[in-house]
Amino acid sequence: MADASSPPQVVITSETESTADLKKQDTGKTHGDRNTPVPHASHPGAVQQNAPSEDAGTAVSSSLTLLQTPASPSATSSTISIGIPPTCTDLPMYDDQVQQIEDLADKYKIVDGQKGFLVSAKWWTRVQARSLHPPASADKDATEGEVGPIDNAGIAMVTDDSGKLLDHAGEKFVVLRPGLRYGEDYIIVPTEGWDLLLSWYGLAKDSPIITRYAYDMTGPDDVLPSVDYEVDPPIFTVLKVLADHTPQTQRESADPPPRMVASKFMLANEWLKKAKELVHIDINTKVRVWRILGGLKSNAASGLPSPAASRSASPAPGTEMVATVPDRMILDVNAFVALSKGEHRDDLNLEDNTANEKYNGSSKLGMYAGRSDLIALEEQKKTGKWASDNSD
């Protein structure tokens, strides 16, 4: 008798005929007699698929561009829109799938620097619900139809910056919807677990690939080590306060303020080095780092990625920041000096050691700026003085 937790075999054919000629993808060879009915008729990845043509074949190779061009062509499915097709043709039983993924996702196995992939809990429940021991939270909808490809669209927030923000590793950064909880809304699996899920089920078209990194979060008073994923890293908008105007700064006068994804657990000096590079400040030019709290006039509503008006009305994460953002990267020195210290701007007291190759400080960014903020880097004048000294 067939195991209720055993998914039928899936075969992705190499036929190129029209969809009218497609046949049901079922070899009848997996885990038992296919003539015996099973409780769950749905099975992972059991979709009717055309083999990608030479044009559509770019879907897999260009999968990492899905965030930039979510409407780009992808592999064609007659029932489910696939962005990255599954590659496994002999899927493990559902119980084995759940066991493998849960073992890999074990929080006690996370190591510092590990890369993790977020998976929608709503989608993952569709797999768990087909096992012999489904979760109590699984509703009837979880077992209806096919499991279908991984779909993270429900946990990602489409923003004006979608496809543009990069994390500190240089990969596409996807902003999450506010208020999500681990286990209830998403799980995190390491690369090995993500590769397994992708091979079993593929990825839905328009579903983003969401990555996060693990850090050693052990505090000075902690008895046991604590390593976990940083799910909501800070996102900074960076402004530059000029010491002197030059032809280079004149060319930059119309540039919009750049944004950067950081980590509370990265070295503060490394963060400052990246911030200076982002706004084209020479490494040898000393800067003061200021948090802008308010007092600036702008048409921009926030220094953080805001939800795209046509896609989401959800507030952006980190909405505690009240400062508006200028339309330009360069902040006029007079406008900067006019900001009241303590009320509209706050000195982070982060010493600039970016030009000191022998500097080996271990201070983490979280000691200075652990939330998403609007930051201004004030250049030091050639005389060694600061424009802000005149306003203190």
Is a pLDDT exceeding 90 seen at residue 329? yes
The domain boundary, picked from 199, 232, 265, lies at: 232
Tell me phi and psi for residue 319, to 5 degrees. Answer: -75, 5
The domain boundary, picked from 232, 260, 277, lies at: 232
According to the model, what pLDDT value does residue 178 have? 95
Q: What confidence tens digit (pLDDT) does each residue in 368-380 have?
A: 998 889 999 999 9
Is a pLDDT exceeding 50 seen at residue 95? yes
Confidence band for 6, pLDDT divided at 50, 70 and 90 = low
Claim to verify: residue 19 and residue 83 sit in the same structural domain: yes
**Which of the two residues, 264 and 49, has the higher pLDDT score?**
264
Rg (CA), the chain: 25
Domain with 376, as residue range(s), is: 234-391
Could you give the CA distance from residue 236 to residue 302 in angstroms, rounded to a whole number? 11
Could you give the CA distance from residue 291 to residue 362 in angstroms, rounded to a whole number? 21
What mean pLDDT comes out for the span 21-42? 35
Claim to verify: residue 252 and residue 186 sit in the same structural domain: no
Residue 236 near residue 338 (C-beta atoms within 8 A): no
Is a pLDDT exceeding 70 seen at residue 217? yes
**Which of the two residues, 325 and 278, has the higher pLDDT score?**
278
Report the candidate in 12, 22, 16 with the shortest Cα–Cα distance to residue 46.
12
Could you give the CA distance from residue 46 to residue 341 in angstroms, rounded to a whole number? 62
Amino acid at 184: E
According to the model, what pLDDT value does residue 297 have? 73
According to the model, what pLDDT value does residue 49 have? 38
Claim to verify: residue 238 and residue 382 sit in the same structural domain: yes
Residue 269 near residue 369 (C-beta atoms within 8 A): no
Claim to verify: residue 339 and residue 206 sit in the same structural domain: no
Q: Which pairs with CB-CB distance under 8 Å and at least 24 residues apart come from 213-221?
A: 213/113, 213/114, 213/115, 213/116, 213/167, 213/168, 213/169, 213/263, 214/110, 214/111, 214/112, 214/113, 214/114, 214/115, 214/116, 215/112, 215/113, 215/263, 215/265, 216/112, 216/265, 217/265
CATH number at residue 287: 3.10.20.90
- As beta bridge partners, residue 116 has 190, 212
Confidence band for 67, pLDDT divided at 50, 70 and 90 = very low
What mean pLDDT comes out for the span 223-239? 95
Range from 16-20, 143-147, 166-170, 193-197 carrying the lowest mean pLDDT: 16-20
**Which of the two residues, 206 and 78, has the higher pLDDT score?**
206
What mean pLDDT comes out for the span 197-222? 94
Claim to verify: residue 31 and residue 129 sit in the same structural domain: yes
**Which of the two residues, 132 and 391, has the higher pLDDT score?**
132
Claim to verify: residue 167 and residue 209 sit in the same structural domain: yes
Claim to verify: residue 122 and residue 168 sit in the same structural domain: yes
DSSP 59: H
Claim to verify: residue 67 and residue 181 sit in the same structural domain: yes
Q: Largest alpha-carbon pair distance within the chain?
A: 87
Residue 119 near residue 185 (C-beta atoms within 8 A): no
According to the model, what pLDDT value does residue 308 have? 53
Claim to verify: residue 101 and residue 246 sit in the same structural domain: no
The domain boundary, picked from 232, 254, 275, lies at: 232
Range from 40-54, 127-141, 191-205, 337-351 carrying the lowest mean pLDDT: 40-54
What mean pLDDT comes out for the span 113-126? 97
Is a pLDDT exceeding 60 seen at residue 237? yes
Claim to verify: residue 96 and residue 139 sit in the same structural domain: yes
Per cent of the chain over pLDDT 90 is 56
Claim to verify: residue 292 and residue 177 sit in the same structural domain: no
Report the domain count for the chain.
2
- Which of the given ranges, 67-81, 236-250, 285-299, 344-358, has the highest pLDDT on average? 344-358
Report the candidate in 288, 299, 296 with the shortest Cα–Cα distance to residue 331.
296
According to the model, what pLDDT value does residue 316 have? 47
**Residue given tokens 């000191």 in the structure block:** 356
What mean pLDDT comes out for the span 59-80? 33
What residues have CB less than 8 Å from 375, skipping those under 6 apart? 236, 237, 238, 239, 275, 289, 290, 291, 292, 369
Could you give the CA distance from residue 75 to residue 77 in angstroms, rounded to a whole number? 7
Q: What confidence tens digit (pLDDT) does each residue in 243-271 have?
A: 877 777 777 778 999 999 999 999 999 99
Report the candidate in 286, 324, 331, 272 with the shortest Cα–Cα distance to residue 302.
324
Claim to verify: residue 259 and residue 159 sit in the same structural domain: no
CATH number at residue 168: 3.30.2230.10
Confidence band for 391, pLDDT divided at 50, 70 and 90 = low
Instruction: For 308-372, give the secondary structure using H, E and C.
Output: CCCCCCCCCCCCCCCCCCCCCCEECHHHHHCCCECCCEEECCCCCCCCCCCCCCCCEHHHCCCCC
Q: What confidence tens digit (pLDDT) does each residue in 121-180 have?
A: 999 999 999 999 999 888 888 888 899 999 999 999 987 777 889 998 889 999 999 999
